[in-house]
Amino acid sequence: MNLQLLFWAASLVNLAVLCGVALFGVRYARRGEIARHRHAMKISSWLVVAFLGAYLLKVGVIGREDQSVWSNLDVWVLRIHELFVLFMIGGGAVAWIQGRKLALTQIVTHDPSDPTPDAKIVLTHRVAGRTAVISSVFALVLAIGIFAGMVARG
């Protein structure tokens, strides 16, 4: 296996793990286990940051892929995958910012003397969070296709 393939195999595992952890995070939120929800989303976010760091390092050390030998379809699948990655990062960032605003409210502390959360913030958080998690799953499905193409080209 060449170095590029090894890097993308590790990245695929990273993306699969972060999707799995985020899906557990959604389950925790639905059960009202917000401390666990927050913890799971923190781990997923760090896995995104780790990938971005590793990707920059990879581009610097072994360079970019030679897309001139890719089929048109493969290039399109890559572009759509990248779009989902952008939605994942954007949605995740908005969910973090809005989630922090919920941290000291009843919905998280379960203390009736704490303020009730602003319904708009709860909704924005939920929509942004769902956008991020759903995008990560689509990004993973497309990444499997992209990786299969790389393996086939050798």
DSSP class per residue in 74-132: HHHHHHHHHHHHHHHHHHHHHHHHHHHHHTTSHHHH--TTSPPPPHHHHHHHHHHHHHH
Q: Are 137 and 63 in contact (CB under 8 A)?
A: no
What is the nearest approach in angstroms of ligand HEM to the Cβ of residue 42? Answer: 7
In the block, which residue shows the tokens 């699948």? 77
Query: Residue 16 and residue 38: Cα distance in Å, rounded?
Result: 19
Nearer to ligand HEM, 54 or 93 (CB): 93
Judged by beta carbon, residue 78 or residue 129, the one nearer ligand HEM is 129
Q: How far is the CB of 89 from ligand HEM (least distance, A)?
A: 10
Q: Return the closest-CA partner of residue 3 out of 54, 46, 53, 79.
A: 54
Q: Is 66 exposed, middle or buried (0-12, 13-18, 19+ CB in 10 A)?
A: exposed
Q: Which residue, 25 or 74, has its beta carbon nearer to ligand HEM?
A: 25
Nearer to ligand HEM, 118 or 153 (CB): 118
Least gap, CB of 108 to ligand HEM (angstroms): 5
> At residue 125, what is the residue type?
H
Closer residue to ligand HEM in complex, CB, 51/126: 126
Please report how close the Cβ of residue 97 comes to ligand HEM at its closest, in angstroms: 8
Q: Which residues bind ligand HEM (CB under 6 A)?
A: 26, 29-30, 34, 37-38, 41, 45, 92, 95-96, 99-100, 102-103, 107-108, 122, 125-126, 129-130, 132-133
Residue closest to ligand HEM (Cβ): 129
3-state secondary structure of 61: helix
Q: How far is the CB of 48 from ligand HEM (least distance, A)?
A: 9
